[in-house]
Amino acid sequence: MTAPYPLKTLFKPKSVAILGASRTKGRPGNNVVKNLVEMNFNGEIYPINPHTDELYGLKVYPNIFSVDDIECGIIVLPTKIVVSAVKDCIKKGIKSVIIITEGFAETGTDKGVNYQRELKNLSKKINILGTGTLGVINLPDFSSTYVEIEGLKQNGNVAFISQSGIFTGGMVHYFRTHDFNMSKIISLGNKIGVDDADIIDYLYDDGYTNVICLYIEGITDGNRFIKSARKFIKNRGPIIVLKGGKSPEGKKAALSHTSSIAIDNEIFNSVIKQTGMIAVENLNDFISLSKAFSLYPNEIRGNRIAIITYSGALGVLTSDQCSKFGLKLASLSEKTAEKIKEVIYNRNPYNNPIDTYPATLKSGNERTFITCLKAVLEDPGVDSCILTAWGSDKPDKAENSYSNHLKDVIIEYHKKNKPTIVAVIGEKYGIERQRAFLEKNGVITTIFAD
Amino acid sequence: MTAPYPLKTLFKPKSVAILGASRTKGRPGNNVVKNLVEMNFNGEIYPINPHTDELYGLKVYPNIFSVDDIECGIIVLPTKIVVSAVKDCIKKGIKSVIIITEGFAETGTDKGVNYQRELKNLSKKINILGTGTLGVINLPDFSSTYVEIEGLKQNGNVAFISQSGIFTGGMVHYFRTHDFNMSKIISLGNKIGVDDADIIDYLYDDGYTNVICLYIEGITDGNRFIKSARKFIKNRGPIIVLKGGKSPEGKKAALSHTSSIAIDNEIFNSVIKQTGMIAVENLNDFISLSKAFSLYPNEIRGNRIAIITYSGALGVLTSDQCSKFGLKLASLSEKTAEKIKEVIYNRNPYNNPIDTYPATLKSGNERTFITCLKAVLEDPGVDSCILTAWGSDKPDKAENSYSNHLKDVIIEYHKKNKPTIVAVIGEKYGIERQRAFLEKNGVITTIFAD
């Protein structure tokens, strides 16, 4: 355990001090206070700055000793005075500090390395999150961040943990403008005190999180990490992991980023194997999977998939990718084939992928797709479905009717643990519109099925 | 050679007959005529249908023998009368036919297979493109397709060849609404006569195309294909290839799609090796690369890359991906480091990736990024650059000024054969807006740099 106090003082503190609260708009030390005020933080807020009296309607204090109890301190001070500030925090009895300040071991300078060593020693006496962190975003209870959080929804089931600061900030903007619904967002930075395992253990008991998305460069304590991850996966749900620093170039970059010795690929692969985490190769997959799991939190029965497509080529490509990821094309039952035959007159009705063109010309788009979709989702030999849908820039009545019908059927079968992913092709704004409509209604979408 | 006549009669015919022209709006046989009229086809158009007199202001003829010379026939007839129609076309002296009709060997039925065999024999006497093809889209000269082509621009340098019909149709919608600028679009279908090699040879001499994007399932004549592809790559430019039917599942799907025996992966890999084609793994990469090559048609000097990023994590991930694809992180020169030092005060100025945060807080976004970008593009040790930019939903003056400045610098160095890719992160509409702005101005963009 690298956190001497309960992490509740980080995620839901009763009172918070901002060491380095700034009058200058746009500066991190100003935005942190602004965010706390605007989110209506339910505890005491103590901005600390000897040169100011008032900030966003709050009284500003000259130092932490001039106020009552503080549970959590957010540090936005210049690098060289961070160590002494943390010592003060310990003296004051503060339980957790979030160090936003950068400039420690990642700089490669003697000074930076020494500061970090001193903080490491202090981390036995106080929870230290950071350095170079965005901290914790846990709305509606608490936020320590300086990036904009307006519009961010946090009553979901997917938690995001990232070693990076700014990257987490970028992701927050992405989440809040792309209708993601995360449970908790945590940025770890240099991991001087609190690390991945501590956070995973906390999320294990938070009552909400059943999926974790994790960006890591290095792991501080392998055995403890494996234990925590394994327990979470066994009893809660999947951990999706994206590792930075796989190549020698990336490794070097990681060192000057979070001062992390990026773990070797071989060791990382062994960690993956021992824990059962899902490793992804790039940010695109990482984010798509986060979204998918936040829209479909249920279990999936198995790996037998049905593909319903407009285009033979898309069927072929989707089949290839399914095979690459260990999914199997389902064998359709006689009952299913009979239902499909009603709309697809010109092909073998046992075919999977189910190619709906040119049958749609005769049977109609909505009727063809809905009939096939219901048929395969009712089939006990099918666990999930990938369906291609169209998005027009200016949809007509028929297209809107179909989209509505489609989402109803998909959501109905979500409840029976049978997910469907909709791959939207079409015109530019049509694709965007159709995806936004479906996702708002809880349907997982993608752009190309492969 | 599987095309007995010059392919000019397919790409730019003097006169065209539509066998199976239809009165019913929305049907392929109606849309083909509509498209030809609306694109102002510069030759004679002869709609053929014994039951109609007039279509879109054109006289309709009862059969092909009731009109003068025809160079190209587009066949949209029911499957069972296609063979006799092609025989008529040969009798009439037509040079090329484009068979849109489906229902041949891909159905797996005896009838379908027999029809296809008969057509194969006829292909010695007439150019046959198809079956199950969308044909040729070669604006402003000619289009044989029934899908909407409004807004499609075709004075670019990238040609798209696809074995699929409907997939090509989907791509046409994508191209025309995403500002792609293709030279020629060709759908091959079952490849009864005209095949990939014929088309590649034609494009070799078209005076425009220097990049080919190719979707294939099977190859009809391996040696001829290798010869054509190699020649194109040697003297014109890259061929990017996406192969469908890599997995057993995909292979089976390909058979019932274009009746193709998908080539084995081993043979395909050997073809890749012998030709030097660039093989991509999925549609996303296929399309991104098409777009990139259409925006940057020049040569690239080498594989040494500079990365300029907001976020350490993005720098790490981008480094990993570069390494995966054989790119090297460039070593920056002393001169470059000196320029970077002017704006990035807190880090080693030789670092690559160049992490601009938190230096941007002090030096300003525009000044920091532009200074770094110019510095690396001037560096003789750097061949290309990946830069991360921000997109806000509501950009302020500073952001707009920066975007403008950024595109000017990038386009300036395009002319010196130094491309820059901009990875746009940020808010949802901000990302879309920023990417659209940059791409409209000729800058290659992506969403995540990895």
Q: pLDDT tens digits, residue range B187-207?
A: 999 999 999 999 999 999 999
Q: What backbone torsions phi and psi does residue B97 show, to the nearest 5 degrees?
A: -125, 145
Which has the closest alpha carbon to B138: B256, B41, B210?
A: B41
Please enumerate in sequence order all residues whose Cβ is within 8 A of that of A433, keeping only pairs 6 or more positions apart, or say none. A391, A393, A395
**pLDDT at site B301:** 83
Q: How far apart, in whole angstroms, are the C-alpha atoms of residue B192 and residue A333?
A: 34
pLDDT score, position B224: 93
Give the whole-angstrom CA distance, residue A135 versus residue A145: 6
Asked if A177 and A94 sit in the same domain, the reply is yes
Give how far Cα B237 sits from Cα of B56, B201, B279, B420, Å: 41, 13, 14, 19
Give whole-number Cα distances, B125 to B35, B120, B146, B199, B444, in Å: 28, 10, 26, 18, 45
- Residue A283 at interface with chain B, using a CB cutoff of 8 Å: yes
Which residue from B minimizes the CA distance to A284?
Answer: B448
CB within 8 Å of chain B, chain A residues 299-328: 310-317, 319-324, 328
Does B285 share its domain with B394?
A: no
Tokens linked to A60: 């500003």
CA distances from A2 to A7, A88, A124, A192, B60 (A): 11, 20, 7, 9, 84
- Is the peptide bond between B353 and the residue preceding it cis, with omega within 30 degrees of 0? yes
Q: Given A215, A249, A361, which is nearest B313 (Cβ)?
A: A215
Could you give the angle at the alpha carbon of A243 between the alpha carbons of A249 and B353, nearest 5°?
Answer: 30
Structure confidence at residue A229 (pLDDT): 96
Q: Give the pLDDT confidence score for residue B1 in this predicted structure.
A: 55
- Band of pLDDT at residue A450, cut at 50, 70 and 90: low
Identify whether residues B155 and B137 lie together within a single domain. yes
Cβ contacts of residue B150 below 8 Å, gap of 6+?
B38, B176
Give pLDDT, residue A449: 54
CA distance A72 to A78: 19
Nearest-CA distance B69 → chain A (Å): 32
Q: How far apart are CA B387 and CA A292, in angstroms?
A: 28
Q: How far is A42 from chain B (nearest CA, A)?
A: 28
Contact with chain A for residue B364, Cβ under 8 A: no
pLDDT tens digits, residue range B337-361?
Answer: 999 999 998 788 899 999 998 888 8
B32 with B122, same domain: the answer is yes
Q: What is the CATH number of the domain that holds A86?
A: 3.40.50.261
Q: What is the ipTM of this complex?
A: 0.76
Using a CB-CB cut-off of 8 Å, the residues of chain A touching B357 are 166
pLDDT of residue A180: 85
Position B33 in a domain: yes
Same domain, A261 and A350: no
* Contact residues, B window 409-438, toward A, CB-based 8 Å cutoff: 425-430, 432
Q: Within this chain, do residues A161 and A16 fall inside the same structural domain, yes or no?
A: yes
What is residue A167's three-state secondary structure?
helix
Q: Is residue B95 part of a domain?
A: yes
User: Which of A164, A252, A323 comes nearest B249 by C-beta?
Assistant: A323
Would you tell me which residues 148-207 of chain B have a C-beta closer than 8 angstroms to some C-beta of chain A? 162-167, 169-170, 173-174, 176-178
Does residue B268 share a domain with residue B164? yes
Structure tokens at A59: 């009284």
Contact state of A167 with B311 under an 8 Å Cβ cutoff: yes
Buried b (16+ CB within 10 A) or exposed e, A288-316: bbbbbbbbbeeeeeeebbbbbbbbbbbbb
Q: What is the pLDDT of residue B249?
A: 80
Facing A254 at nearest CB: one of B166, B248, B316: B316
Same domain, B53 and B100: yes
| A9: enclosing H helix or E strand | helix A8-11
Within a domain: residue B371?
A: yes
In a domain, A97, yes or no: yes
Last residue of a domain, one of A294, A315, A350: A294
Query: In this predicted structure, what is the pLDDT of residue A324?
Result: 79
Q: Among B169, B254, B329, whose Cβ lies nearest the Cβ of A316?
A: B254
pLDDT for B232:
95
Q: Does residue B398 lie within any of the structural domains? A: yes
Measuring CA to CA, which residue among B317, B412, B6, B279 is closest to residue A249?
B317
Least CB-CB distance to B316: which of A107, A178, A217? A217
Alpha helices in A56-186 (DSSP H): 82-92, 110-122, 166-177
**What are A135's two structure tokens?**
């901290």
- Say if residues A280 and A240 touch (Cβ distance below 8 Å): yes
- Choose the closest CB to B448 out of A284, A323, A430: A284
A residues 42..101 contacting B (CB < 8 A): none
- Decide the pairing of beta strands B135-138 and B181-187: antiparallel
- Strand residue runs (E) in A49-140: 54-55, 58-59, 72-75, 96-99, 127-130, 135-138
Split into its structural domains, chain B has a count of: 2
Task: Indicate the helix (H) or strand (E) that contains B242.
Answer: strand B239-243
Peptide bond into A101 cis (omega under 30): no
User: Which of A263, A294, A325 is the last residue in one of the domains?
Assistant: A294
Range of the domain at A166: 8-294
Q: B288 in contact with A at a CB cutoff of 8 Å?
A: no
Q: Is the same domain home to B256 and B315?
A: no
Quote the pLDDT of residue A169. Answer: 87
* CA triple B310-B315-B317, angle to 5 deg: 130
Per-residue pLDDT reduced to its tens digit, B156-179: 889 999 987 788 888 898 888 887
Rounded Cα gap, residues B159 and B186, in angstroms:
8
pLDDT at A382 over 90: yes
Q: What is the pLDDT of residues B267-290, one digit of tens each?
A: 888 999 999 999 988 888 888 888
CB B16 within 8 A of CB B46: yes
Q: What is the DSSP letter of B333?
A: P
Nearest to A311 among B167, B249, B428 (CB): B167
B236 to chain A, closest Cα gap in Å: 27
Lowest pLDDT segment from A32-41, B1-10, B92-101: B1-10
pLDDT score at B450 = 57
Predicted confidence (pLDDT) at residue B409 exceeds the cutoff of 70: yes
Contact A293, A340 (CB under 8 A): no
Lowest model confidence (mean pLDDT) among A40-44, A321-325, B395-399, B424-428: A321-325
DSSP character at residue B61: B
Please list the residues that pair with A61 across neighbouring strands.
A48
Nearest chain A CA: its distance from B169 CA (Å):
9
Tell whether B110 is covered by a domain: yes
* Confidence category of residue A246, pLDDT binned at 50, 70, 90: confident
Of B242, B247, B428, the CB nearest to A323: B247
Helices B334-341 and B365-378: angle between axes, nearest 10 degrees: 170
List Cβ neighbours of A280 (8 Å cut-off, separation of 6 or more). Answer: A240, A241, A242, A286, A289
The owner of tokens 């987490």 is: A168
Residue A229: CB atoms within 10 A of its CB come to: 25
Is B163 contained in some domain?
A: yes
Q: When comparing pLDDT for A305 and A2, which is higher?
A: A305
User: Is residue A1 over pLDDT 70?
Assistant: no
From chain B, the residues in CB contact with A245 under 8 A are 316, 319-320
Our CA-based measurement puts residue A313 at a distance from the nearest CA of chain B, in whole angstroms, of: 6
Q: Are residues B289 and B326 in the same domain?
A: no
CA-nearest residue to B179 within chain A is: A428
Task: Pull the structure tokens for residue B399.
Answer: 């952001």
The pLDDT of residue B336 is above 90: yes
Q: For chains A and B, what is the number of CB pairs under 8 angstroms?
A: 218
Which residue in chain B is spatially nearest to A323 when comparing CA positions?
B247
Question: Is the domain of B275 the same as that of B313?
Answer: no
In a domain, B3, yes or no: no
Q: Identify whether residues B235 and B320 lie together within a single domain.
A: no
Instruction: Please say which residue of B260, B294, B328 terminates a domain.
Output: B294
Return mean pLDDT, chain B.
Answer: 91
Question: Best mutation site among A280, A291, A317, A435 for testing chain B: the one with the most B CBs within 10 Å?
Answer: A317
Average pLDDT (B315-327) is 85
Mean pLDDT across the stretch A223-242?
93
| A248 shares contact with chain B (CB less than 8 Å) | yes
Residues B71 and B12: their CA atoms lie apart, in Å, by: 10
Joined together, the tokens standing for residue A9 give 């003082």
Inspect the interface and report whether the beta carbons of A245 and B320 lie closer than 8 Å.
yes
> Which residue does chain B place closest to A249, by CA atoms?
B319
Q: What is the pLDDT of residues B6-44, one digit of tens each?
A: 999 999 999 999 999 999 998 999 999 999 999 999 999
8 Å CB contact between A168 and A194: no
Do residues B354 and B311 make contact, with C-beta atoms less than 8 angstroms apart? no
With a pLDDT cut of 70, the percent of chain B lying above it is 99
Alpha-carbon distance values, A282 to A26, B7, B316, B447 (Å):
31, 43, 11, 12
Distance between A14 CA and the closest CA of chain B, angstroms? 30
Residues 6+ apart with CB under 8 A from B28: B22, B76, B100, B146
Query: Which residues of chain B from 7 to 36 reach within 8 Å of chain A, CB to CB?
Result: 27
The token duo for A45 is 């807020």
Q: What is the pLDDT of residue A187?
A: 95
Mean of per-residue pLDDT scores for chain A: 91
Identify all chain A residues contacting B324, using CB atoms and an 8 Å cutoff.
246-247
